[in-house]
């Protein structure tokens, strides 16, 4: 199927994406009806983000997933009938399917069969902008596809572009396993170079000891909106899942004038593919160096509680759960009527679009930064111009007065314990 059409505009031939039609299929094996409903709604949002139009949704309640076809025989027949009615381009399943399930379903359905993992990988393939991001997505896709190459037959012959096929491309997927393994090894080597490059940058930042913050949270919680409004940056901002993929680091000026660094990261999601967690571990290494995690939660989403748990679980898996956290409940103006903030966490409730709320957030961040600093009160001789400049730029300076009698500057403020400037002012400490 050709998934694009062309039109002329002012003499240029432009490509327009044609929206693909999709059927969604889910199987509920737990008692929580509401959670399953949210999961299916999220699948529909993911499909929309990947530029698919949902024609119909089919779901079934079972004690366990059918090992051969995911859903039962009767439901497969219903799905075939829906396919004949709507003629979709693809059928998307709300779980990761096994290679045999994909093969069995593909033999019975006259449409591409993809699962939730493939859909998420496809969105990541669309969103990746940097060389590193593209390599990581390709690595995750190849690792996902490798065990599914055996006997794919019919399904492979249908790969002609479209959702679930972007990234490595058809030729790579049709190659033999040895070629794919070789490509995986090549990507890992390329990524290692990027990792080493990042480490050099991190070492430089450690040496300069700049306070680092990282925005984390469930996808579409409003991280990029907040990032763009509190930092000096231009990050892609859209009401879509996974609007940000590549991490961006920019300056954040706190109310005292102190400069910190803030990093915007990829959004987390329930059932994030294991291959992606592994592939993006190097990207999130950036976050491991953070002094403070800003955990952004969408207070307007009815499933906000599960979103919080998902993020905490992934932070634990990535070994980042020990870092100091501030929970930012965002979208205060659209807050869900049943919303109750977590009483155990350090928190603030804001709207990223409200200037006063953003100011309150910056003051709150500065309070936390000061908690991680030590106070100083020194008299510096006027000849210490370089050190005075450092106090202004690299510490939170609360008082600076010149004493004409002693020709010294009285300075009070806060500095990071392991910052070089702290050692330099110790000899002048009162």
Render pLDDT for 315-368 as a digit per residue (tens, 0 to 9).
Answer: 888 788 889 999 999 999 999 999 999 888 899 999 999 999 999 999 999 999
Report whether 56 belongs to an annotated binding site: no
Residue 94, pLDDT score: 94
pTM above 0.85, yes or no: no
51 belongs to an annotated ligand binding site? no
Give the pLDDT of residue 294.
95
33 assigned ligand-binding residue: no
Is 264 flagged in the annotation as binding? Answer: yes
Class of domain 20-126 as given by CATH: alpha beta
- Averaged confidence pLDDT in the chain: 82
Distance separating alpha carbons of residues 323 and 161, to the nearest angstrom = 42
18 is in an annotated binding site: no
Q: What is the pLDDT of residue 35?
A: 86
CATH 3.40.50.11060 occupies which residues in the chain?
A: 20-126
CATH of domain 210-369: 3.40.50.300
What does the longest C-alpha to C-alpha distance in the chain come to?
Answer: 94
331 is in an annotated binding site: yes
333 is in an annotated binding site: yes
Give the distance, in angstroms, between the CA of residue 370 and the centroid of all CA atoms in the same chain: 28
State the residue for tokens 């949902």: 54
69 is in an annotated binding site: no
For residue 352, say whether it is annotated as part of any ligand binding site: yes
CATH code: domain 371-426 is 3.30.70
105 among annotated binding-site residues: no
Q: What would you report as the CA-atom Rg of the chain, rounded to the nearest whole angstrom?
A: 26
Backbone region of residue 220 per phi and psi (left: phi > 0; alpha: psi in -120 to 50; beta: other values): left
The pairing of strands 292-298 and 259-264 is unpaired
**115 in a known ligand binding site:** no
Between CA 308 and CA 303 the distance in angstroms is 9
Q: Does 177 show up as a binding residue in the annotation?
A: no
**207 marked among binding-site residues:** no
pLDDT at residue 64, as a whole number: 93
Q: Which of 298, 295, 292 is nearest to 262 (CA)?
A: 292
Q: Which residue stretches of the chain have pLDDT < 70?
A: 1-18, 150-176, 202, 205-208, 233-247, 271, 273-276, 278-286, 430
Asked if residue 140 belongs to a known ligand binding site, the reply is no
235 is in an annotated binding site: no
Phi, psi dihedral angles at 318 (to 5 degrees)? -90, 0
Q: What is the pLDDT of residue 281?
A: 63
């Amino acid at each position: 199927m050709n998934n694009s059409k062309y039109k002329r505009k002012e003499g240029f031939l432009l490509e327009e994406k044609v929206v693909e039609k999709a059927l969604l299929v889910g199987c509920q094996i737990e008692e929580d009806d509401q959670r399953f409903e949210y999961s299916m709604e999220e699948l529909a949002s993911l499909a929309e983000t990947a530029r698919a139009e949902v024609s119909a949704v089919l779901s079934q309640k079972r004690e366990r997933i059918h090992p051969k076809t995911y859903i039962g025989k009767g439901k497969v027949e219903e799905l075939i009938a829906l396919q004949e009615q709507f003629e979709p381009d693809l059928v998307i399943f709300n779980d990761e399917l096994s290679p045999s399930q994909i093969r069995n379903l593909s033999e019975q359905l006259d449409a591409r069969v993809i699962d939730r993992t493939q859909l998420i990988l496809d969105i990541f393939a669309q969103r990746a902008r940097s060389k590193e991001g593209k390599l990581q997505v390709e690595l995750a896709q190849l690792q996902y596809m490798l065990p599914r190459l055996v006997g794919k037959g019919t399904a492979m012959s249908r790969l002609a572009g479209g959702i679930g096929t972007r990234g490595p491309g058809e030729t790579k997927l049709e190659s033999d396993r040895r070629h794919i393994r070789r490509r995986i090894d090549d990507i890992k080597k390329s990524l290692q170079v990027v990792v080493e490059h990042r480490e050099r940058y991190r070492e430089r930042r450690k040496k300069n000891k700049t306070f680092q913050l990282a925005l984390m949270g469930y996808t579409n919680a409003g991280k990029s909106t907040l990032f763009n409004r509190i930092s000096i940056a231009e990050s892609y901002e859209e009401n879509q899942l996974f609007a940000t993929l590549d991490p961006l680091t920019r300056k954040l000026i706190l109310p005292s004038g102190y400069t910190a660094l803030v990093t915007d990261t990829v959004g987390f999601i329930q059932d994030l593919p294991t291959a992606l967690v592994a592939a993006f571990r190097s990207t999130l290494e950036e976050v491991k160096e953070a002094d403070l995690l800003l955990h952004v939660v969408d207070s307007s989403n009815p499933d906000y509680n599960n979103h919080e748990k998902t993020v905490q679980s992934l932070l634990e898996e990535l070994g980042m759960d020990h870092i100091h956290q501030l929970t930012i409940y965002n979208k205060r103006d659209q807050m869900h009527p049943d919303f109750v903030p977590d009483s155990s966490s350090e928190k603030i409730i804001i709207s990223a679009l409200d200037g006063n709320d953003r100011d309150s957030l910056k003051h709150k961040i500065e309070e936390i930064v000061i908690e991680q600093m030590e106070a100083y009160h020194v008299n510096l001789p006027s000849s210490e111009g370089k050190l005075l400049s450092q106090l202004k730029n690299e510490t939170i300076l609360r008082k600076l007065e010149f004493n004409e009698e002693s020709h010294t500057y009285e300075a009070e403020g806060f500095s990071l314990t392991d910052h070089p400037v702290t050692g330099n002012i110790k000899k002048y400490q009162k």
